[in-house]
Structures are given as structure tokens and as C-alpha cells.
A and B are shown apart, each in its own frame.
Chain A
Amino acid sequence: MSIIYLTNIQAHSIERRVQLYMILKNNFSKTIALIVGTLLLLLCMGVSIVYGYANTSIQTTIESFTQFNQSNEHIIIQNVRIPRVLIATCVGASLAITGVLMQTLTKNPLASPGILGINAGAGFAVVFAMIFFHVSNLQSFAWIAFLGATIAALSVYGISSAGRDAVTPVKITLAGAAISALFASLTQGLLATNEAALEQVLFWLAGSVQGRKLEILLSVLPYLIIGWIAALLISSKMNILALGDDVARGLGLRLGFMKLMVGLIVILLAGGSVAIAGPIGFVGIVVPHFARKFVGTDHRWLIPMAALLGGILLLLADVTARYIIMPQEVPVGVMTAMIGTPFFIYLARKGGKK
């Protein structure tokens, strides 16, 4: 809608840029892409339920729904695999949406909750509460993670907007890395003095969707759903925001309010994800770029596409993580880092000319 208000030349150049960039051009093919994405997501969910250390087949999986018989396989499927799959899907989708929002907000292709210190902040808050207030209740875990995420997000934004000039991508990345390092160091310090707590949280800190109960997801799910819906609702406004602050203001967008909204959604989704799965990095960086390749920069398509791809990526990473050092499992956060780092380097090299 907003593009109409631009001059013809501007609109034309934007359109051409977008067209060069993306593969799918019209709404019909984008709709097909979303449907294919959904099917792929469902397929990955199925694969993730069926394959793992305990041998199960598609048949036993279906039987566990239709005629549950208390056998080991059925219990594993119902109590271990299904929560895990649902959690991976929700967390992957949330992180991917967070990545899209942060990249547009900061105009930084490298922005994501991991790089900008939000994960580390939430992680620190949870460890702190566990050691000093002996919190083990899941509901409060979520609130504490939100608090930590908020503090970290505010400090990164505060720091990086402190200068008189505009917030440059490098500056915001550096600020995030430093905040991240600080929180990581504080977390490690707490754990170094408390070995019992280390044992409890080590796996959580690496980022993992293993061994989480469905209740953890359910306690956080309302916040995630609010975040998803809100992200979709503001998606057309995000398109205006992406044109730059001056243009957006000229088009009548309430910038302050808009940025606040985006910040809140980021905190809801990133904080919620950390509360469930621990800090999982790189999903937020990688997925938005792939989603943009498919559907372009229109956020009304980009956000749902990124959500689907995020779920798929995390599910696949989780299935792979089960097989690498069997019978043990690699935390999925380590897997995403292994997939994500080469991509991060690619992006950093590509953007280096600026």
C-alpha cells in the first residue's frame, strides 16, 4: 500500500531491486511456497518423531496415537519425542521471526538474538535466579528469561544509539558482542562457584530441546502466540520501516511507537524461546536470509515464510544432533552454530564493502 506514495522512480528502483533478489515473484507462487513450506515442516516433524536412539517406525508412531499400549516405544513417542518436536518447531519459528524483525529494525544483516546478547542476558538471569532464589518452577523461568532478555536488549540498544550519529551495523554488532561476553562471563562465574548448579544447567545453557516437558512449552506458548500474531499484524508497517527512518516518518509512521512494538515482540519471542530451550544461536541470522531469497522483502510474506523455515531448520538440526555422537546427543545449539557460522562468515564477507 505504502509504495503508492513514493515517486514513480523510487518505486521502480525498489521493485527492480526486489525482483533481482528473490526467486518467486508473484503472489500465486509465494502462496504455493508457503504451502510447500508447511508440508515440509510437517514432514520434518514426522521424521523427528520417528527417528532417534530408540528404534521406532512410522507404524508404531501411528499406533501410539490410535491404540496406546504402555510399551516403551509408545511412551517414548508420546512423552519424549512429541514434546520435543513441538518445542523445536515453536522455538525455531520464534527465533526466525525475531531474526527478521531485528534485521529490519537495526538494518543489520547480522542481527539476531544470539549475536546481540539477548540470549546471553536471558541465560544469565535464569542461572542467577536458580542459584540465589532457588527457582525451579517453570512459569517463573519464563518471566525471569523475559526480564534478562529485556535488560540485555535495552542495554544493547542504549549503548549503540548513544552516539550522535546513526546506529551503524558494526557498532550494534560490537555492542551486542560485548554485552554477550559480559553476561556469559557472569554466568560462568556463578557456575564456577556452584558445581551442583553447573550440572543442572549445563545442557540448558548449550541450547537444547531434549528432555523438555510439554508443560514448559505450554507455560510459554501464550507469549509466543501473542508474539507471532503481533508480528503478522505489524508486517505491512515493517515494510515501511525497512525504507529507512526518514522515509518512514515522511509516510506518517509513528517511528517511536513502531520501534517499541518491534522491541516488545523481539523480547517476547526471544525470551520465550530461551526460557524453553536455552540460548540457541544462528537460527535468527540464517533463516531470514533464506526466506528473503524465496519470497523477497515484503514482510507480509517474509514473516510466515521465515517462521516455517525456522521450524524446519531447528527440527533438522535436532534430528542430526541425535546421530552425530550416538548414543550421546549434541545439543542442538551446537548444531545450529556449526551450520550458522559458515553462513555468518559469508554474510560478513559480502557486506564488508560498506
Chain B
Amino acid sequence: MKNLKTIRLLQNKVSFLLDIKASKKLTLISIIALAVFLFSASFGDSFINPIKVLQVLIGNGSDFDQLIIVDFRMPRIFIAAFAGMALAVAGAILQGIIKNPLASPDLIGISAGGGAAVVGFLAMFSDSNHSLTVSIEWLPLAGFIGATIVGLIVYIFAWKDGVTPTRLVLIGIGVSAFMQAITTMLMIIGPIYQASEANKWITGSVKSADWSQVQIVVPLILILLLITFFITRQLNVQELGDDTAASLGQSVQKTRLFLLLLSSSLVASAISFAGAIGFVGLMAPHIARRIVGPSFGVLIPTSAAIGAILVMVADIIGRTAFNPLEVPAGVFTAAIGAPYFIYLLFRNPRK
């Protein structure tokens, strides 16, 4: 306990414990995330020296570099980083609620629900020229509605004198399969062009990111992360188990519902433009937990940083490894994520 430091602000109205050792680690990981962010701008069809990237960012680069980095690469890096953060935090929250290390937004159907809604949105508001009849700004809203509704449906169906984690996961798996069926149907009844777009989206790709999307997504995710930061203490309590949480004065089921909503909002804002990048919500919190321990105060920001790194690296690999072919980032997160999942099952024979 000697590593803990209490910080009190605003005449003791706000106070929190700071784990100094973990905070140091968090700082280090954040610096790595920032470095990946900058390096990420170097990679692509042509390699641009990181020093030149820095020059561009402080406004000193050549016009050509400026065009490539600021107009082409930066938006997708932004989207990748923020989607990674949001998915990771959503996963951390879910793992806290469900108390199952294998829970993640993809497994319990939240991602699939957002996916079905987004594909439905594209199908409903596209005209014969494949252009949208309404502003693309509504897309996150559609994703949010889908993800939230599915989150709620799963929650409601899992309710039977309260919600047990196991039932939540099982029902999530069933609902997830249903949502995938709907998505497939929407893809099939639409024109093939649309199916291909939808498929890229479902796999999870940040290829088509632009600044207008960044303007929508970044503030949204920042707000949600801020809310999450203030609610972490509730998560710590939830993890102690229902009985302990109740006796500590928490309204267990209400809090759980709110956390579920928060988690699906995060997922929705991440996947609305980046697509359903899988397994990030599973992996990032685990890696973070191994590094900084289980307390959600440091766990959440660390997960966020790791999630950002994961998606950015997956995107770098996706656009360089098979150049000129672009492989969606989601393929690589799944390719790392599934073996990691297997590793978790081998490591955790208890649960």
C-alpha cells in the first residue's frame, strides 16, 4: 500500500487514490501509444521519414508531404486510435460487469447489433447511384441505436431475478448470431456494391476515414471516456460480487444497466466509422490488467492506450503488408485476438 497516494481536490470534494507505480507504467504506455501514432503516419504507399512527419505536424513540411499526411493518413490514424480506445474501455467495463475474463462486446452481440444497424442504414438511405440520401453524420447514431437496443435486449432477456453474468453471455451469443443473420440478409437483398461496402465495414477497416468523421467521433469518444473515468469506482465495487456491492450501498442492477449502456455507447461510437474491429475489447483490458493490476482507476486509461496501439498497429500492417492490397485492420486484430483468447483459456483453468 505504500505506493498509493491520496489526491484531494476542490476542498476534499473530489478525492482519489493514485497508485504511483501503476501511474508510471501508464505514462510509459501512453508515450508508446503516442510514438505509434506518429510512426503510423510514416507508413503507407510511400514511406515518409518520421522527422518529416514531425515537421509537417508543426507546419514546416513540403506541400506534398503535407497532403499525404494531413489529408490522407491522419484521419484514419485518428479514427484507429480512438476506436481502439473506445473498444478497449468498453471491453474493460464489460469484463467488470460480467466478471468473466472472456467477455467482450463482440461476444455478447453489441458489435453485431451496431453492425446490423449500420448495414441497415446504408441499405435504407442509399439511392440508385450508391450515394447516401441523408448525411453520413447520422451513421454513428444508427450504430448507437443498434448497439444500445441489442445491449438492452440482451440485458432484458438475461433478466430473471437479476442478471447473472453467465446468462448474459449465453444470451448475447444467441442474439449475436441473430444479428449476423439480419446483416447477411440486408447484404444479400441490396446491390452487390453495397454488400462489398458492408462487408468491409463488418470486418472493421479505417480505410475510408476522413476529417469530417474525425470531427464527429473524437469529441463523442472523449466525452464517453470522461464519464467512464468518473464511474470507475462503481466498477471496482461491482467486481467484488453482487452481495458485497449491495452491502456497500450500491444499487447493483441499476449500476449494471448504466454500465452496459455506457459500454454499448462506446462500442457504437467506435464501430460507426471504423467498423466492427474484433477482439480489441477482449485483449486490451487483459494486457492492461497484467501490466497495472485490476484496479479500474488505472486499468481503464491503460486499456485505452493499449487498445489504441493495437488498432493502429493492425492498421499499419493492413495497409503495408500486402501492398497494394489493403487488408482490413479487423482481420489482424482477430488473428492476434483468437490465439490470445486460447491462451487465456489455457492460463485460467479455474473459471
Residues on A close to B: CB < 8 A? Answer: 110, 114-115, 155, 159-160, 162-165, 170-171, 173-175, 177-179, 181-182, 184-186, 188-189, 191-193, 195, 198-199, 202-203, 205-206, 281-282, 325, 328, 330-331, 333-334, 337-338, 340-341, 344-345, 348-349, 351-352
Contact = CB atoms under 8 A, between A and B. Distances in A.
Contact of B177 (A178, A182, A282): A282
A178 B340 CA distance: 11
A115 B170 CA distance: 10
B203 A189 contact: yes
B189 interface: yes
Given A282-B177, A337-B177, A337-B181, A349 B330 contact: no
Contacts of A110: 170
A349 B168 CA distance: 9
25 contacts: A115-B177, A159-B342, A163-B345, A165-B350, A170-B170, A174-B107, A177-B107, A181-B334, A182-B337, A185-B330, A188-B203, A189-B334, A191-B199, A192-B196, A195-B196, A202-B192, A206-B188, A331-B188, A333-B181, A334-B184, A337-B178, A348-B174, A349-B158, A351-B170, A352-B164
A162 B195 CA distance: 39
B102 A185 contact: no
A171 B167 CA distance: 12
Contacts of B184: 202, 205-206, 331, 333-334
B26 interface: no
A281 B345 contact: no
B173 A177 contact: yes
A181 B106 contact: yes
A184 to B, nearest CB: 8
A338 B200 contact: no
Most buried by B among A333, A340, A344: A344
Interface string B239-265: 000000000000000000000000000
Contact of B173 (A115, A331, A340): A115
Nearest to A191: B199
Contact of A171 (B158, B173, B177, B345): B345
A185 B169 contact: no
A202 B195 contact: yes
A185 B334 contact: yes
B326 interface: yes
Contacts, number: 155
Contacts of B181: 206, 281, 333-334, 337-338
Given A192-B203, A193-B327, A195-B196, A173 B349 contact: no
Given A178-B341, A341-B178, A203 B173 contact: no
B268 interface: no
Contacts of A206: 181, 184-185, 188
B16 interface: no
B70 interface: no
A173 B327 contact: no
Nearest to A164: B349
* Chain A residues touching B, majority SS: helix
Most buried by B among A178, A191, A198, A282: A178
Interface in B332-351: 334-335, 337-338, 341-342, 345-346, 348-350
Contact of A198 (B182, B185, B192, B322): B192
B278 interface: yes
A331 B328 CA distance: 26
**Interface magnitude class on chain B:** 35 or more
A4 to B, nearest CB: 37
Contact of A189 (B166, B173, B188, B331): B331
Given A189-B331, A191-B199, A337-B181, 8 more contacts: A115-B173, A159-B346, A205-B184, A281-B181, A330-B185, A334-B185, A337-B178, A340-B177
Given A110-B170, A185-B278, A193-B325, A198 B195 contact: yes
A227 B115 CA distance: 37
A348 B171 contact: yes
A193 B160 CA distance: 44
A159 B189 contact: no
Most buried by A among B106, B185, B199: B185
Given A178-B102, A181-B334, A330-B185, A341 B345 contact: no
A278 B344 CA distance: 31
Contacts of A160: 345
Given A114-B177, A178-B107, A199-B192, A193 B338 contact: no
A162 B345 CA distance: 7
Nearest to A193: B325
Contact of B187 (A173, A179, A202): A202
B326 A341 contact: no
A198 B170 contact: no
Nearest to A195: B196
A173 B173 contact: yes
A240 B160 CA distance: 34
Given A205-B184, A325-B189, A331-B188, A163 B166 contact: no
B328 A189 contact: yes
Nearest to A189: B331
A185 B199 CA distance: 10
Given A173-B173, A192-B327, A349-B167, A334 B345 contact: no
Contacts of B335: 182, 186
B345 A185 contact: no
Contacts of A351: 170
Interface string B107-135: 10000000000000000000000000000
Contact of B327 (A174, A179, A189, A205): A189
B82 interface: no
Nearest to B339: A182
A100 B192 CA distance: 37
Q: Which 4 A-B pairs have the closest CB atoms?
A: A189-B331, A163-B349, A337-B181, A185-B334
Nearest to B204: A185
Contacts of B348: 163
A61 B263 CA distance: 56
Contact of A165 (B173, B278, B331, B349): B349
Interface in B20-59: none
B53 to A, nearest CB: 27
Contacts of A155: 342
B323 to A, nearest CB: 12
